[in-house]
Amino acid sequence: MMSSPAWANDICQISGNLVQNCGFETGDFTGWTQSGNTGFTSVSTFYAFSGNYGAQLGPVGSDGFLTQLVGDNSTTYDVSFELYNDGGAPNDFTVYWNGVDVGPDLVDAPNFSYTLFSGVLAGNSGAGSNEITFAFRQDPSYWGLDSVVVENTAVPEPASLMLLGAGLLGLGGLIRRKLIR
């Protein structure tokens, strides 16, 4: 019996995910732009939440940044990622969406195992893509980041809403008839 390749176990490889190299399974930061303090920042097997790799983030003294452009301005997005902290202070971790701090705003956070962070964010009202940026510093140790997912939020089409409305009206008529009898 053949087993699945390790990358098949990467939970961020879901249909509709707009993030390139969402689980760092290329073994590097392909698809991501690094800036700021890039010291002690790499991709590692030790910090994998799913698949084979995860980002190991530990710049000392100032923040490092990982950025990627995703989606467009036409909708809202479900955004999620898995975050791990080895602990020790000073440290900080923040997420920016189109240049706006959307949290979490972790400062001198204690150690914690991989934890899912998620939220729904509006698409950029300007032209072009949305920008997701992770800002991080971890002087004595490392953050682990993995399974970054950005998906379009499902919005019903007008025809679907009309069908739903017709169905609810029909159901209301049935209930009314039963109450009158």
pTM: 0.80
Are 13 and 139 spatial neighbours (Cβ–Cβ below 8 Å)?
A: no
The architecture (CATH level 2) of 6-154 comes to Sandwich (2.60)
For residue 69, give the 3-state DSSP assignment: strand
Query: Rounded to an integer, what distance in angstroms lies between the CA atom of residue 171 and that of residue 174?
Result: 5
Average pLDDT for 93-120: 96
Q: Which of 101-105, 114-118, 122-126 comes out lowest in average pLDDT?
A: 122-126
Q: Where are the domains of the chain?
A: 6-154
SS3 state of residue 161: helix
The answer to whether the beta carbons of residues 142 and 88 sit under 8 Å apart is: no
Q: What is the pLDDT of residue 74?
A: 66
Task: Note the pLDDT of residue 22.
Answer: 93
Residue 23 has pLDDT above 90, yes or no: yes
Q: What is the pLDDT of residue 129?
A: 86
The tokens of 114 are what?
A: 């991989």
How many CB atoms within 10 Å of residue 128? Answer: 11
Whether the pLDDT of residue 88 is over 70: the answer is yes
